[in-house]
Amino acid sequence: MSEQTQESGTSRPRRVVVVGAGMAGVQTAVALREQGFQGAVTLIGAEPHQPYDRPPLSKAVLLGKAEGSAFDVDFEALGIELRLGSEVLGVRPYDHELDTAEGPEPYDVLVLASGAEPIRLPGVEGVPGVHLLRTLDDAERLRPVLARQHDIVVVGAGWIGAEFATAAREAGCSVTVVEAADRPLAGALPAEVAAPMTAWYADSGVVLRTHARVERVEAGAVVLDDGSRLPAGAVVVGIGARPATDWLTGSGVELGPRGDVVADDHLRTSVPDVYAVGDCASFPSGRYGERLLVHHWDNALQGPRTVAANIIGETPGVYDPVPYFWSEQFGRFVQYAGHHESADTTVWRGDPAGPAWTVCWLREGRLVALLAVGRPRDLAQGRRLIEAGTRMDPALLGDPARPLKAATA
């Protein structure tokens, strides 16, 4: 059983162990201290580097404009024990213990923040010149590749593929993006919204090949299933990510069909004293009436505050955010807030062929999501309107000259 101390009549954990020293893990440790937790906090991370932020990896770090992206956190001053280069191998919830290569590790409360790992392209293991982009090591391996200005083939026209293609063009490489679906971001956005984004590839000098499946990768070339052969000094695979939860298999912690840790609305898992947060966990969204698995930075920032509050137990809270993310691609600043379904009504603000436009999704007259390209004010106002569940007037909403907050019904 867990050891608890009695303070002010409430039962408080003495030792919190966080697995994963990415954004969600670091923010959990920091939030515990910010919210006054005085017990021991241990942060265990598999990577050897000082904890760092991932978004710059596909942007400034890749282009050598920034050396790294380490978090500006003084772990020592905060009394957070940081254990890096240590992979947690498993958890035994009934013993309240983790297994690490260095031996068992006890906890009172455990936070799972092991993030996500990139999906690999089958059959390319060991082929030279094939890269992923998830870690600082990946970005550092890719930097000299860009500097050599090779022909680069990017597999996958998702967020990472688009950002990598942007950086590679900026570095002077020839870039072909190969996408199995009929358009970029097919998993995230409907065809009418992806259509103007498709044009950004050509405008930036990137060749986009849709309906194109990789048959195999050879040294120096990617062979597609229609037989075409693309010269490739390097191949970057960006076909998605999945929760890094293999280490939890058989532990009793419930995993969902996508490998996600199934958390409740307080970000508690199926076993006592174990929470989950960030890219590794899904949670039930009361706001959207479905379980969400969010692989974006803001979720790894907001979720930890709820986890810390629930661990401390003074002002426990429900986690029900309006998801948010941004992407910088082909000279555009793209932001998305909320969550939409194909049945939702779309309303456009501005000309999608132009440099700045927004698309809004309405459900029963209320704003549920928006995508803003070069219109950060729309995003900021829209996010608040989504949070408030405000009814909108579609005719007013369609006028890009009218502030979004002045388009309410």
Ligand X SMILES: Cc1cc2nc3c(=O)[nH]c(=O)nc-3n(C[C@H](O)[C@H](O)[C@H](O)COP(=O)(O)OP(=O)(O)OC[C@H]3O[C@@H](n4cnc5c(N)ncnc54)[C@H](O)[C@@H]3O)c2cc1C
Q: Which residues bind ligand X (CB under 6 A)?
A: 19-25, 44-47, 54-55, 57-58, 87-88, 113-116, 133-134, 160, 244, 247, 278-279, 295-298, 300, 325-327
Whether residue 52 contacts residue 68, with contact meaning beta carbons closer than 8 Å, is answered with: yes
- Judged by CB, which is closer to ligand X: 62, or 385? 62
Closest of 238, 298, 324, 295 to residue 58, by C-alpha: 238
As measured in angstroms, the least distance from the Cβ of 26 to ligand X is 7
Which of 58, 251 has the CB closer to ligand X? 58
Nearer CB in complex with ligand X: 54/349:
54
In the complex, the smallest distance separating the C-beta of residue 285 from ligand X, rounded to whole angstroms, is: 17
Give the nearer residue to ligand X in terms of CB position, either 326 or 348.
326
Q: Are 167 and 62 in contact (CB under 8 A)?
A: yes
Taking the complex as a whole, how short is the minimal distance between the CB of residue 246 and ligand X, in angstroms? 8
Distances from the Cα of 226 to the Cα of 130, 180, 198, 232, 402, angstroms? 21, 12, 21, 17, 48
Strand boundaries in 185-255, DSSP class E: 207-209, 214-218, 221-224, 229-231, 234-237, 241-243
Residue 56 or 400: the one with the smaller Cβ distance to ligand X is 56
- Report the residue number, 21 or 362, with the smaller CB distance to ligand X: 21
- 3-class secondary structure, 208: strand
Rg (CA), the chain: 22
Nearer Cβ to ligand X (278/321): 278
How far is Cα 345 from Cα 394, in angstroms, rounded to an integer?
Answer: 10
Taking the C-alpha atoms of residue 282 and residue 145, their distance in angstroms, rounded to an integer, is 35
Q: Shortest approach of ligand X to residue 128 CB, angstroms?
A: 22
Q: Rounded to an integer, what distance in angstroms lies between the CA atom of residue 343 and that of residue 216?
A: 37
State the helix-helix crossing angle for 159-170 and 191-203, rounded to 10 degrees: 20
Helix axes 297-312, 23-34, angle to 10 degrees: 40
SS3 218: strand
- Minimum CB–partner distance for residue 218 and ligand X (Å): 26
Question: Cβ of residue 255: shortest distance to ligand X, in angstroms?
Answer: 14
By C-beta, is 116 or 206 nearer to ligand X? 116
CB of 21 to ligand X, least distance (A): 6
**Shortest distance, CB of residue 307 to ligand X, whole angstroms?**
12
Q: Check residue 39 and report its DSSP letter.
A: S
**Secondary structure of 69-98 in the HEC alphabet?**
CECCCCCCCCCEEEECCCCEEEEEHHHCEE
